[in-house]
Amino acid sequence: QPPRWWRLSPSRRRPAAEATAATRPTVRSPSPGGTPPNATNEAPTYKALIKDFEAANKNIKVKYVNVPFDQAQNKFDTAAGASGAPDVLRSDVGWTPAFAKKGYFLPLDGTEALADQAKFKPNLIEQAQYDGKTYGVPFVTDTLALVYNKQLFEKAGVEAPKTWDDLKTAAATIKAKTGVDGYWGSTAAYYAQPFLFGEGTDTVDASAKKITVNSAAAKKGYGTWLSLFSGKGLHKADTTADAYAHIQDAFVNGKVAAIIQGPWEITNFYKGSAFTDKSNLGITTVPAGSAGKAGAPTGGHNLSVYAGSDSAHQKAAEKFVGFMTSAKSQTQIALKNSTLPTRDDAYTAEVKADPGIAGYQTVLASAQPRVALPEYSSLLTPLDTELLKIAGGKESLDKGLGNVETAIAKLVPDFSK
């Protein structure tokens, strides 16, 4: 989901010197959990809400700007460093620690933006915090789930799997009974995170300042991940540049029974031939690993306020953030865009009538906040490179994870191996 920025102009008909504040920065916004938002689909909803906000706050004007998701982080970083960033950024949750550490985000504790803090899910507030302060208000959230074709599962007589071993067994049965592959996995590092969490580990242990991507537990998790690319009913790894689209297309058209995916694809699920009947979409927690735990990364976006703008813009931005993250606004956004609200009072009966939203709401409890480490988002980059080689058979698991460990050591030089 591509980022958007908003520039707020608090023109209060005051002296010209202050009125020029109206020409200063705006706000930007990105997408769920490292996943690009759909700017074209989402824009009308946000523009309608901005119109409502401006009608209720006639002294504030909002300029809405879309920025491609893969450019937003660097653009905001550059603009903030030059004191010219937008007033509000729709920030991926993984960006909070780095921007907060640099002093680019304004702490929002005790402000109008966070007046409803108790209404938000605690784990989402946690991922908006850094060093004891809150630097964003949860706007949309997401996590990964095992999504499956109920008809194919029922035809094969299998239940939704609770463990990765269950998934292997189910995939083989589905292939035997329906002729369709039971599961198709991704080589992307973000989609492999549940395999680490299922072994009770992560790429790093921030509290111990230790790199754990090459630990015994991590090797076990990635070993399970790798094993799901071969075997009866398990689709081989797609190492092409279009792998994401291939996997998604196969699932929505009934050519594979289950994949791991996030709620940003809900509207696209329904466009496929397999889910013209929305009730055929099954959504369950990702399978558990040998540690007996199921876990998936917390994604989504926060609305954050630029710390470099003047007081008038910051106050206007705080008011705007409070409006956009209210229960009423989040309900409207969910109904129009099929995104997941970050507060329970926005999950109205009408919102939960969408089986996709209702299904993903049930798996949010297994979502793990990201490590509050400024470099954390960067850790997935070497993993993306090496996991692709491992899945494609171009290097061994041990060699690949060793390479990742070396690369991560350069990103966090004060961490031990």
Residues 300 and 93: their CA atoms lie apart, in Å, by 6
Task: List every span in the chain annotated with CATH 3.40.190.10.
Answer: 4-142+298-368, 145-296
Nearest Cα residue to 28 out of 67, 56, 82, 62: 67
Choose the CATH number for 145-296 among 3.40.190.10, 3.40.50.300, 3.30.43.10, 3.20.20.70. Answer: 3.40.190.10
CATH code, 4-142+298-368 = 3.40.190.10
User: Residue 363 in contact with residue 285, Cβ under 8 Å?
Assistant: yes
* Cα-Cα-Cα-Cα dihedral sign, residues 116, 121, 126, 128: negative
Q: Coil, strand or helix: which one is 154?
A: helix
**Average confidence (pLDDT) per 10 residues, the chain, 417 residues:** 55 26 32 51 91 96 88 92 91 93 97 97 91 97 97 98 98 99 98 97 96 98 99 98 97 98 93 97 98 92 96 97 98 94 96 95 89 88 97 98 98 96
pLDDT of residue 10: 61
Query: What's the whole-model pTM score?
Result: 0.85
pLDDT of residue 30: 35
Residues 172 and 387: their CA atoms lie apart, in Å, by 24
Residues 40 and 51: their CA atoms lie apart, in Å, by 18
- 222: Cβ contacts below 8 Å, ≥ 6 apart: 192, 195, 196, 387, 390, 397, 401
Nearest Cα residue to 97 out of 302, 273, 360, 335: 302
- 35: Cβ contacts below 8 Å, ≥ 6 apart: 1, 69, 142, 190, 262, 264, 299
pLDDT of residue 370: 84
The region, left, alpha or beta by phi > 0 then psi within -120 to 50, assigned to residue 300 is left
Residues 364 and 36: their CA atoms lie apart, in Å, by 19
Residues 285 and 296: their CA atoms lie apart, in Å, by 8
